[in-house]
Structure 1
Amino acid sequence: MEANALKEIINSELAVAVYFSAPNCSVCYALKPKVEALFLNEFPAVKFIHVEIDKSPGISGAFGVFSAPTLLVFFEGKEFLRKVRLMSIQELQQKIERPYKLLIG
């Protein structure tokens, strides 16, 4: 996937979460299934996309992501949330819940 393709998805979908990971990042791979499950179970209308920084350097550069793990959440094409490295699933849920309910219902 290229940066322009990802931007198109972000602009065409109501809500998108982009999770960036890096190779040899144990935190990235321990956290990904938990973050993915959060969106699947609590926020099913959010499109979840996983980007591996080493395989898509153009995307990480275009979105200003230089460390992993990083989670970007977009509502209506605008960046709503950016979490880098340390993130708790409970905190993510609390921050996303209100705008998600307002936008999606």
Structure 2
Amino acid sequence: MNLETVENLIHHEPGVLLYFWGEHCNVCHALQPKLFEAFDQNFPKIEKIAIDVGEHADIAAHFGVFSIPTAIVFLGGKEFARVSRNVSIPALVERIERPYSILLS
């Protein structure tokens, strides 16, 4: 995983979820499977990528990620949603449903 690969996915996939997490973040470990499951069920065309900020600080810096967990959703190559720290999965799903159905259905 490198920045070029991530940028390539963002610009060539219809939708991308970047999930920034840390090895010693218990919330990050608990949230990721629930978030990815919600996206699998509701947004099957969105590519999901988990990025460990300890291993890929350059990618986190490029996207302006300063706290974890952080989830950034790109639709059509553009950043559409960003949530950090206190992530509400139902609120994020609700926020993405309409544009996802318009852009990717």
Q: TM-score range by the shorter chain?
A: over 0.9
SS of corresponding position for 2:72 = strand
Q: Which residue in the other structure is 1:58 paired with?
A: 58
Count of residue correspondences? 105
Is 1:86 aligned with 2:66? no
Q: Which residue in the other structure is 1:38 paired with?
A: 38
- TM-score, with length taken from structure 1: 0.97
Structure 1: unaligned runs, 5 residues or longer: none
- TM-score, with length taken from structure 2: 0.97
- Identity over the aligned pairs, expressed in percent? 40
Structure 2: unaligned runs, 5 residues or longer: none
Counterpart AA for 2:104:
I
Q: Per-residue CA shift, 1:42-92, capped at 9, x if unaligned?
A: 100000000000011110011111110000000111000000111111101
Q: CA deviation at 1:2?
A: 1.2
Cα distance between partner residues in 1 of 2:2 and 2:67: 19
Q: Per-residue CA shift, 1:8-63, capped at 9, x if unaligned?
A: 11001110000000121011011001100011111000000000000111100111
